[in-house]
Amino acid sequence: MKRTVQLAIASAVVLSVLTACSTAAAPEGTEQDPDAPITVWVDATRNDSAVALAEAQPELNATVESVDNTQGAISSRIALATRAGEGVPDVVFLSSPDEIATLLANPVNYPLALTGQVDDAVLDGFAAGSVDRCTYEGVAYCLPNDIAQTVLYYNKTLFDQFGYEIPTTFDDFLALGETVAAENPGYSLGTINSRYGLDALYGSSGCQYNHATSATEVIINVETEACTRVNDVVGPLVANGTLSTLDPFDPVFTPIVTEGRLLAFIAPSWMGEYGIKPNYATEGDYAVAAMPKWAGADTNLSGAVGGGIWLVSATSKNQAAAIAFATAMATDPAIAGAGATYPADSASAEAWLGTVASDPWYAEDPSSVLKDAAGKVSTTLGYVRYQTQALDAYNATIGSEAGADIDAALLAFGEQVTAAATSAGYTVIAQ
């Protein structure tokens, strides 16, 4: 009996401590201090340029930290810091931009509304549509860093050698895949793994699975022609092996790149600099062609795979310095124009394209194709809180079907993604 009482008292003490912990709210840190130091979280790729900026502008008093940028890692770290009430970064770079949707909602409420805080000229300087993707109810919450517009990478030397034409429509692309499988088996047209299939192909076709119209509403409908026409291309080409279901960086796939068997690849604009070039150094082979047009589509829209964004904390004590840092990273041609990714800021993009245009690795100057595609990312691609689930659902259905029953897989994908959206607090509209 005595022990029961002791246990009860102990439990009561523990519970009261817990309650105290859970109700300790984060301080309202909006009081501004122009001398307050700022903390900046970036991924490993942007660490050096961020450190250089912090050193070049000591008045910003910025500390740069390189953090794990795998999908969901940064938003969960910010959520924990917010809950702890300390250690919330003033500026953060998201290489998975969809995480903004999570950070914008409870319990984090991280990003600062930038419209009005940042010069309109800065916001207007970004590629068409790039700021729109992180604009909610007319207010922009991010500075786009880079555009991951998809284009068609192809090995010009091999195309000439085999006598193939560059596909301008996806009907051509399908025909090319069937020819390659018959004439040159072992050569690849890339992969449809995860976002390289979902966001690049289904996304470019306007298939609606994450078409967010607000922070709480999303259009999902996978039974439209915009989705089924992708199936008609992906299904046969996965089945005949010209499209792989592996990640492009998978150790089983990279030999295809290193051994020069990657004939073509519909991939984001960073794939050349970041994915193909490091594994295939031969100059003058790869070129970039415009995205093929889907059957029945008005124009050749691009998908997007990634495309980093900069956010500023709403609880930053020095918003002016934080905004200045993020703005410089996103729009200074000397910084944004020197990275591996296509800058969202138009002036920086010119600088970037200037470097790429004279790069002997490319068989032809890719700048006009990349520039054209930058403004043509499909507006049906949105940033949603269930992006991880959407990719999981895609891999478990369309990705794992290996082209066998891809139409049933698409319907199953639609069901899962609708459930995921509902669970994430969206009202799903099936238009």
Partner 1 sequence: MTNSNSGLRTKRPRSPGWGFIAPYAVLLIAFGITPALFGIVTAFVVTPVFGDSYISLTENFRAVLTDYRFTIAAGNVLLYLAIWLPALIVVVFTISLVIDTKKTRFASFTRFVSYIPGAVTGSAAALLWLFMFSPAVSPVGPFLSNFTGSNGIIVSDGSLPIILATMGVAAGAGGWIVLLVGALTAIPRELIEAAKIDGANVWSTIWHVKLPMVRNYLAFILIVSVAAGFQVFVEPQVLGAGAQGQVSSTWSINQIVYAYATGESNYGRASALSIVLLAVCVLIAVIVLRKTRFYSIGDE
Given the rule CB under 8 A, which residues bind partner 1? 11, 14-15, 18-19, 21-22, 70-73, 75-76, 79, 83, 102, 105-108, 193-194, 215-216, 241, 244-247, 249-252, 255, 385, 388-389, 391-392, 395-396, 399-400, 402, 415-416, 419-420, 423-425
Closest CB to partner 1 among residues 34, 186? 186
Q: How far is the CB of 188 from partner 1 (least distance, A)?
A: 11
By the 8 A CB rule, do 149 and 304 touch? yes
Q: How far is the CB of 173 from partner 1 (least distance, A)?
A: 20
Closest CB to partner 1 among residues 19, 32? 19
Q: How far is the CB of 7 from partner 1 (least distance, A)?
A: 11
By the 8 A CB rule, do 174 and 233 touch? yes
Q: How far is the CB of 408 from partner 1 (least distance, A)?
A: 16
Closest CB to partner 1 among residues 60, 74? 74
Residue whose C-alpha is closest to residue 150's, from 378, 340, 292, 303:
303
By the 8 A CB rule, do 298 and 377 touch? no
Q: Is 177 exposed, middle or buried (0-12, 13-18, 19+ CB in 10 A)?
A: buried
Closest CB to partner 1 among residues 77, 156? 77
Show the tokens assigned to 40: 């900046």
Q: How far is the CB of 146 from partner 1 (least distance, A)?
A: 21
Q: How far is the CB of 341 from partner 1 (least distance, A)?
A: 19
Q: How far is the CB of 396 from partner 1 (least distance, A)?
A: 6
Q: How far is the CB of 348 from partner 1 (least distance, A)?
A: 30
Closest CB to partner 1 among residues 61, 279? 279
Closest CB to partner 1 among residues 5, 20? 20
Closest CB to partner 1 among residues 337, 399? 399
Closest CB to partner 1 among residues 215, 309? 215
